[in-house]
Copies of this chain bind each other. A is one copy, B any other.
Amino acid sequence: MRHLDVANRASIRRTNLGLVLRHLRARGSRSRTQLAEDLGLPKATVSNLVNELVERNLVREGDVQRGGSVGRPRQAVELHGRKLCGLGVEISVDYARAVALDLRGETLLDQRITINAERDSDVLLDAVAALVTRAIDSMRAQGIDVVGVTVAAPGEIDRDAGVVLFAANMGWSRLPVVAGLTARLEPDAPPITVGNDAKFGAIAEHAIVSPVGIHDLIYITGEVGVGAGIITNGQLLLGAAGFAGEVGHMPLDPERQQCTCGRRGCWETMVGLSALMRHAADPDDPVRDPDRDLEVRLAEIRTRAAVGDGRTLAALDRIAHGLGLGIGLLIDVLNPQAVVLGGYFAILGDHLLETTRRLVGERVMAPHAGGCQLLVSTLGFTSAARGAAQDALESVFHDPGSVSAPPA
């Protein structure tokens, strides 16, 4: 109802560019006519917007499709794959992983290095910076632009400052991750941010289950640390200061074991990776050697479980019970549609799920666990890095006008 001045028109045009791009992400390829109908915009406007997105290499003309048995065939517009990507980098206690995703969510790169968080944080940042540099170089060699790097780290994080405030299992306190990495990268490196690993994991898992209508979920990370990312109504629950989802230190252990955080009885001491290793093997057992690749060590645990090793099965049963206790609590508090088990819980899911489901069913107050499904991540240890890569792409989906067209 108000008059639009020129500045407003430009701003609306930019907003609409993002609208089209996000609609293609949510709904898949569409013809220009379908886009105009879906978005309630004139067809000429949509065509102009699509042309601008094509110029920027963000969308491309796809296959010809038929709307029905009659009528003209329509050419579909779809997200362009291989021209730009977001880079997500997870730093965990045992490993760092870099994943590059294109606009379509397809994996262009997935590289992992074994690290040992006991190391000096300078040495750790050196290794992560080298991983990032290799990933950027590899993308650029293929003509793919990296629009941003998002680091997924455990603990409480000040995103604006780029600082991990506290991460017990890493031994970090007020570590300036963004400044530390920026100083180690080339001056023309893309912008870097850092956020909480479990939250990015939840974003990646939501992208997987969103097509089947799941928009309220809790993603639980299973690494040395245990955290959660919470999606409610399709949105990440951040809390007032961005700290929501800190579930690893819920005081659930009646035996009140000492936790690395200095407290006693934390959930992490019951179900974290260290608890599994402690219950499953003696200290000198090679599966507990932090210098060996975690995924190889977990494969050994799987083998032992498969051949019916009593100590391994008892350890898994104990983890499954602890999981049921904490997950039941979280379902009571948040009443999600699904809880998704990630990290090592996903790798060993078939040995955990039945017992954990039974415990959850016994513990949750609402009938039928409030309708909540217990799912195992299909992304394994890649969720956090994938979600971070999606985060790095958000600036493009939010404001495609920020991406410059390549030289003609």
For the complex, what is the distance from the CA of A249 to the CA of B333, rounded to whole Å? 10
With A42-B1, A232-B237 in contact, is A242–B365 under 8 Å at CB?
A: no
State whether the Cβ of A317 lies closer than 8 Å to any Cβ in chain B.
no
Cα A246 to Cα B256 with chains together (Å): 24
Q: Which residue of chain B has the shortest Cβ distance to A244 in the bound complex?
A: B335
Residues in chain B near residue A205, CB distance under 8 A:
none
Within 8 A of B (CB), among A229-245: 230, 232, 237-245
Q: Complex formed: what's the CA distance from A246 to B242 in Å?
A: 23
- Which of A23-31, A99-107, A367-375 is the interface stretch? A367-375
Tell me, rounded to whole Å, the shortest Cβ–Cβ distance linking A321 to chain B: 11
Stretch at the interface among A46-54, A299-307, A324-332: A324-332
Contact: A228 with B371, CB < 8 Å? no
List residues of chain B with CB within 8 A of the CB of A230: 333
For chain A, what secondary structure do more than half of its interface residues adopt (helix, strand, loop), or is it mixed?
Answer: loop
A130 within 8 Å of B (CB atoms): no
A3 within 8 A of B: no
Contact (Cβ within 8 A) B332 A249 = yes
Residue of B nearest to A42 (CB): B1
Q: Which residues of chain B have C-beta atoms less than 8 A from A329's C-beta?
A: 250-251
**Chain A 328-363 near chain B by CB (<8 Å), digits 1 or 0:** 111011111100000000000000000000000011
A292 within 8 A of B: no
With A239-B336, A240-B371 known to touch, is A366 a contact of B246 (CB < 8 Å)? Answer: yes
Query: Does A93 sit at the interface, judged by CB under 8 A?
Result: no
Interface centre among A228, A252, A333 (most CB of B within 10 A): A333
Chain A residues 136-182 with CB under 8 Å of chain B are: 156, 165-166
Q: Assuming A239-B335, A240-B337, A251-B363, what are 9 further A-B pairs, CB within 8 angstroms?
A: A166-B366, A216-B240, A239-B336, A242-B335, A243-B365, A244-B333, A244-B334, A247-B333, A249-B332
- A-B residue pairs, 10 tightest by C-beta: A239-B335, A246-B332, A243-B366, A243-B335, A244-B335, A240-B337, A216-B240, A243-B370, A254-B254, A246-B365
5 contacts between A and B (CB under 8 A): A166-B367, A216-B239, A241-B370, A246-B332, A263-B363
